[in-house]
Structure formats: C-alpha cells, structure tokens
Amino acid sequence: MTDAAPRHKRSGLFAPIGLFLIALAVWSGWWFYLAHQVQTRLVAQVEAMRGSGWTVAYTGLGTSGWPFRVRLEAGNVSITAPSGHALAAPQLAAEANAWNPDKWVIAADDGLVLNRAGKGKVAIGAPYIRASVHGLSQRWPNLAVELQQPVFTVHQGAEVFPISRAGKIEFYLRPHLAPSTTPGVENSVDVLFRLIDAEGRPGGPVEGMARNGKLTAQIETVVEDANRLQGADAAGIFSAWTRAGGRFTAVRGELSAGDSAATLSSDVLSATPDGRLQGTVALQARQPMAAIAGLAGSGSGAVNRAGAAGATAAAAVQGNEDVNLSLVFREGRTFLGPFALAPAPKLF
C-alpha cells in the first residue's frame, strides 16, 4: 500500500499577494497625502505672493502621476511682479519623484511670454524649456534653468530684444561654496550664466559685434547678501539689495563674438541707486577691433557711435595683437578707456 502524497496548504500562495496589496495601500496613502500637501502648500504660497503685491493667475490646477511621481499641471499661468515684469505660459507642469519630493523639474513645453516692464512682450519658443530645483530644505536651494534653441519674437508695439535666437541658454544658482568660517558665506550664492551661439537681431548691437557671426558668453560670480534680494516695490528685488550695499564679487567670464574673443574679470561690481551697474572689468581681448567696429556700425540707438568710433580707432593701433583693456561702468555709462560706448547695464 503506497502512502498518499502530502497536500500543501493554498494559503501560502496568497501571502505574497496579501503583502503586495498591503504595501500598495500604504504607498497609495502616502502618494495621496503627498499630492494633497504639495497642492495645499502651492496654493498657500500663491496667496502669500498675492499679499506681497504679486499678481498670480492660472486655470485648471490638477495633480497626477500616481504611483511613482507627483505632477502638478496648470494652464494660462501668469506671474506678474510688483515691478511690472511678468512671465506667462499657456501650460506649465512641475514633477517630482514621490520618494524624493525635494527635487522638482518644471517644464514649459508650449513656450513662454516675457513681459518687460515698460518695454513690452517677447515670446520665447524652444523645443526644450526646463528648470530644476532641489535642496528645498536648504537656506538656498540649487536651481538650474535650460533653454535649448530658443527663438525670441517681439510682440507688436514692443521694444526690440537684443537677440533673435540662440543655441542654448543656461542659468545656475547654488549656495556659495566656501569654508563655513568665510564672512558672509551663509548669505551668498554662486551664479553661472551661459549664452551659447546667440544671433543678434538685424541691425542690432549683438549682430554688429559678431559681424554676422555668433555671440557666446559665460559669466560666473558670487552674489553677496543674497538674503536681501527681496521686496515688493516697483523697482524689483534688486532695489533693496542695492540699497543695502549688495555686491557681485569674483566675477569671471569669457566672451566670443565672431573673430573677437575676450576673458574678463572683476573683483567687485555693484549698482547705483537707479540700478545701473558700476565698477571696473578687466578684459584680455583678442582681435577686439572687429567687434568694436561692428558695434559702432550697428543701428542700435543705445550705442554711442562717436565713442565706439573712437574706441575702434584706438583698437586699430593695436592691430590684431592681444590687448589688455578696462571696461568701466560709471555715471550710468559704459566706458572703454576714455570712450563712452553705451549705457551701463541696468539691473532694475
């Protein structure tokens, strides 16, 4: 007589399924809690901005992305600062991993519209417009903005925009990398800006400097007293920073425009009460005459042609040799040696 085969309990087969369902329920509860918290805090932040003088509008705010991502989407987004500067997008989306809500990626796939206070609107179209921010628990989060192949189109009636298109635009901000014993390090941030293969508008100063070539620029600096970059007055966030003595330090950069190129450096730059940059930038230039002559011949009303022509003649003496120059921002104007070229850059 043979022994009967042992019978296995079927309950063992359902244990993994039960554990999976429990884990799924716990994770789903976390996801819905997180999504609710994110949307609630966003709405609270919007209300706080409105209370500070900002105008914020949007439609159709919604949450999606279950189970692994949290995604916020809104249409007809418009953010206007008290200064009048504004940014609008037909559609805006922000997304983070549900297991790491400290890092967000923001996308504007349908482009942006920049409204320059007193100067009008310019549309920004690009196949890729992204911003990422992480380290939200830090005093200063890490921020990165990238636009690939942006095209700038000025709206009817608006002032011209310096460039018409570019290969890429990048902007980075992070807490200042320095020993903790460095004075003011806790209130300073590092900033890096890149403009790659930019083309100027027809007849404009960028096209003139590049001599039908392309402009590439990389500028990095330390922004001191960044905690004062705030305020809701008409002048914008740089106004309070300037009044408190805010400075750009350790300014370094590289420029190339057509056949001309330069490296630049400055220990300190600041701003006048009306927002114009002031200070001295040292330039080590290669073939500067081509860029200066192109600037003098441009159709821009902002360019002081007499000053640019004088600088061209002075540069011609140097020929095609490398030359050390000083670019000075003072009295609201930009000087190359004794020659006034154009208004000094304006922060606000």
Quick one: the chain helix, strand, coil %, rounded to 5? 25, 45, 30
Supply the pTM of this predicted model. 0.85
Between CA 159 and CA 140 the distance in angstroms is 34
What pLDDT score does 24 carry? 85
Between CA 59 and CA 41 the distance in angstroms is 17
Grouping H, G, I as helix, E, B as strand and the rest as coil, residue 41 is helix
CB contact at 8 A, 320 and 329 = no
Torsion of CA 85, 193, 229, 180, to 10 degrees: 170
What pLDDT score does 301 carry? 47
Distance between start and end Cα atoms, the chain? 99
What pLDDT score does 348 carry? 67
Does residue 67 have a cis bond before it (omega within 30 degrees)?
Answer: yes
What pLDDT score does 179 carry? 81
What pLDDT score does 307 carry? 45
What stretches in the chain show pLDDT beneath 50?
A: 299, 301, 305-311, 313, 317
CA proximity to 34, closest of 99, 93, 131, 105: 99
